[in-house]
């Protein structure tokens, strides 16, 4: 049987998971591919470190170049993360005509176009299934399964750490810091975790999905991002009373018949009767609306050793089949299509809103706030004010009808200046999935 020699850069959560999975399922993979994958070399940073996954010492090196430039290595997996060494190593491998697999969404987000161009130039390929939603084969679905569809909308719970935190905050009333520490211990969170909780990891993934769906590469600075730090137990509670669950949602929506799209990441109120509201814990889900297929849902583990290793194995499978057949560009890393495209500025995006204010409970306050919304042509669909004591501070919750982000922001800025309004108003979008 043909042998394919794999070099892995990174022996941490994902690299260790891939090594383990190859030990466990290598024979099965070989029988399916008609070629056996042999791990030739694994680069790590610290040779002395004790590892959750036992890797034979003879395979280890502390120099990634010994992986990439090893003449036996035909296929390279970059699993170290970051955007400097990883970029250098991938470019070096591609330059040698070696196909590369990466799980590195931060790198793709920042330098995708450069890496795809290098793969094309040197007649090889770059595979990146593990970069979005761990074990869910969403990249394959968009590139292959839905090749005949226009993607009118895509909504993703794409960050396991945030979903894990929001779920435990909702179900247990647990506090943010404790749950974040658990997510780090379980190997879900990025280092540093700010990448997760401030929404940037989700933005990297949403940008990759949006680019594949719409055929033009979307740069991270074009994506409007808000993380989950500002989601409080109070917001979760009131959203629940109104029939919603708060999720960090990546949203990609075609806004008109042209190529204008919304690409954003923000905490979103999801109706409890929508399937995405029940996606709990570290699980990810992507809801895709294609113009031919209609609605479909992808669900699975979006982070962690085994789920991510499964996606890397899928790329190993594709790369091995391409190597075997010599069809290096059967499916190029990225192909622009149809639209030259533009991401709409967030202020032009229309949405419904949940607004939480902290106000002094006295006559006329509600009327003054309602007047400002009215003057901005924003309709109120419901109001909650828990019974309080006159003169004391109470939460005041509004659900607002459709308005542009710009109009809602301006109205809130005016409301925030009212003497009876204490602290910063909180505003989240509400998604109706229509
Ligand atoms: P990790 O646990 O921190 O592992 C990183 C590995 O890379 C470690 O083995 C480290 O060596 C090695 N390394 C770092 N810098 C190196 C260098 N300059 N030269 C050689 N080796 C180096 O990270 P991870 O969680 O596996 O993540 C790896 C990649 O997968 C990232 O791009 C991440 O975004 C992506 N990803 C992760 C997950 C997940 O659930 N963890 C899911 C999807 C995608 P030492 O072991 O000696 O420190
Ligand atoms: N930190 C990421 C998450 C890992 O929590 O989803 C998977 O990309």
pLDDT of residue 389: 72
| Given the residues 105, 170, 205, 352, the one annotated as active site | 205
Expressed in angstroms, the distance from the first to the final Cα of the chain is 52
| 80 CB within 6 A, ligand 1 | yes
- The pick from 7, 8, 9, 10 for probing ligand 1's pocket by mutation, whose C-beta has the most ligand atoms within 8 angstroms, reads 10
Q: What's the confidence (pLDDT) of residue 129?
A: 98
Judgement on whether residues 197 and 105 belong to the same structural domain of the protein: no
CB of 189 closer than 6 angstroms to any ligand 2 atom: yes
pLDDT of the residue at 329: 79
- Mutate which of 161, 187, 300 for ligand 2 pocket (most atoms within 8 A of beta carbon): 161
- Nearest CA, atom 4, ligand 2: 303
Q: What is the pLDDT of residue 187?
A: 75
CATH of residue 390's domain is 3.30.70.260
| Residue 340 included in any domain | no
Ligand nearest to the CA of 165: 2
Closest ligand 1 atom to residue 303 Cα is 40
> In angstroms, what is the span from residue 326 Cα to ligand 1's centroid?
30
Res 133: pLDDT? 96
Looking at the fold, whether 203 and 275 belong to one and the same domain comes out as yes
Of 379, 314, 404, 349, the C-alpha closest to 153 is: 349
- For ligand 2, say whether the CB of 201 is within 6 Å of any of its atoms: yes
Residues 305 and 299: their CA atoms lie apart, in Å, by 17
Task: Look at residue 337 and tell me if it is in a domain.
Answer: no
Dump pLDDT digits (tens) for 298-325: 999 988 899 999 999 999 999 999 999 9
CB 86 within 8 A of CB 10: no
Ligand 2 near 303 CB (within 6 A) = yes
**Would you call 343 helix, strand, or coil by DSSP?**
strand
What are the Cα distances from residue 325, in Å, to 84, 119, 165, 192, 320?
32, 18, 45, 41, 9
The reported pLDDT for the residue numbered 204 is 97
95 ligand 1 Cβ < 6 A = no
Strands (E) in 291-349, as ranges, are 294-301, 342-343
Q: Which domain holds residue 196?
A: 139-301
* SS3 assignment, position 98: coil
Q: Is the CB of 304 under 6 A from ligand 2?
A: no
Q: Are residues 280 and 146 in the same domain?
A: yes
Tokens of 231: 């989601």
| pLDDT given at position 158 | 98
User: What is the three-class DSSP state of 36?
Assistant: strand
| DSSP codes joined into one string, 187-227 | T-S-SSTHHHHTSHHHHHHHHHHHHHHHSSPPPGGGSEE--
- Tell me how far the alpha carbon of residue 53 lies from the centroid of ligand 2, in angstroms: 20
Residue 145 lies in a domain: yes
Residue 362, number of CB atoms within 10 A of its CB: 11
Owner of token pair 């040698």: 96
Q: Are 211 and 218 in contact (CB under 8 A)?
A: yes
Give the CATH number for residue 81: 3.40.50.720
What is the distance between the alpha carbons of residues 370 and 349, in angstroms, rounded to a whole number?
22
- Say how far residue 404 (Cα) sits from the centre of its chain: 24
In a domain, 249, yes or no: yes
Rounded Cα gap, residues 356 and 411, in angstroms: 13
Instruction: Indicate the DSSP class of residue 322.
Output: H
Residues 201, 180, single domain; the answer is yes
Q: Would you say the C-alpha torsion 232, 234, 236, 242 has a positive or negative sign? A: negative
Distance in Å, CA 241 to ligand 2 centroid: 29
Q: Which helix (H) or strand (E) holds 403?
A: strand 393-404
| 49: CB partners within 8 A, 6+ apart | none
Rounded-to-integer distance, Cα 339 and Cα 393, Å = 51
Same domain, 251 and 358: no
Q: What is the CATH number of the domain that holds 156?
A: 3.30.360.10
Looking at residue 174, its pLDDT comes to 82
Number of separate domains in the chain: 3
Are 188 and 234 found together in one domain?
yes
205 given a catalytic annotation = yes
The rounded distance, in Å, linking the Cα atoms of 9 and 75 is 11
Nearest ligand to residue 130 Cα: 1
Report residues of the chain scoring pLDDT below 50: none
């Amino acid at each position: 049987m043909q042998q394919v020699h794999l070099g892995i850069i990174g022996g941490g959560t994902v690299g260790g998971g891939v090594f383990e999975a190859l030990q466990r399922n290598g024979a099965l993979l070989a029988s399916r591919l008609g070629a056996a994958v042999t791990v030739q070399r694994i680069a790590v940073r610290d040779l002395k470190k004790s590892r959750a996954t036992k890797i034979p010492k003879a395979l280890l090196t502390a120099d990634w170049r010994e992986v990439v430039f090893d003449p036996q290595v035909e296929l390279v997996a970059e699993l170290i993360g970051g955007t400097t060494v990883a970029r250098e190593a991938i470019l070096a491998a591609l330059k040698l005509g070696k196909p590369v697999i990466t799980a590195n969404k931060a790198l793709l987000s920042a330098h995708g176009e450069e890496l795809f161009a290098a793969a094309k130039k040197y007649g090889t390929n770059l595979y990146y299934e593990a970069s979005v939603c761990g074990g869910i084969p969403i990249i394959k679905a968009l590139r292959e399964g839905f090749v005949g569809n226009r993607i009118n909308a895509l909504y993703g719970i794409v960050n396991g750490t945030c979903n894990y935190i929001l779920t435990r905050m909702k179900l247990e009333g647990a506090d943010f810091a404790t749950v974040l520490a658990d997510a780090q211990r379980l190997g879900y969170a990025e280092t540093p975790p700010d990448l997760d909780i401030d929404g940037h990891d989700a933005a990297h993934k949403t940008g990759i999905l949006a680019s594949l769906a719409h055929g033009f590469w979307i740069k991270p600075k074009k994506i409007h991002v808000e993380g989950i730090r500002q989601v409080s137990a109070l917001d979760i509670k009131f959203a629940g009373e109104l029939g919603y669950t708060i999720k960090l949602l990546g949203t990609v929506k075609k806004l008109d018949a042209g190529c204008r799209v919304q690409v954003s990441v923000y905490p979103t109120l999801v109706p409890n009767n929508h399937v995405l509201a029940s996606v709990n814990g570290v699980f990810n889900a992507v809801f895709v609306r294609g113009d031919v297929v209609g609605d479909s849902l992808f669900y699975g583990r979006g982070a962690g050793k085994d789920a991510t290793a499964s996606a890397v194995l899928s790329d190993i499978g594709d790369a091995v089949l391409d190597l075997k057949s010599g069809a290096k560009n059967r499916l190029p890393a990225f192909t622009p299509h149809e639209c030259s495209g533009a991401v709409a500025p967030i202020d032009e995006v229309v949405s419904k809103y949940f607004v939480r204010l902290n106000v002094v409970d006295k006559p006329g306050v509600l009327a003054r706030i309602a007047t400002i919304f009215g003057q901005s042509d924003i309709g109120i669909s419901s109001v909650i004010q828990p019974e309080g004591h006159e003169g004391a501070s109470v939460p005041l919750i509004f659900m607002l009808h459709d308005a542009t982000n710009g109009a809602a922001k301006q109205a809130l800025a005016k409301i925030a200046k009212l003497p009876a309004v204490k602290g910063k108003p909180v505003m989240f979008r509400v998604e109706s999935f229509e």
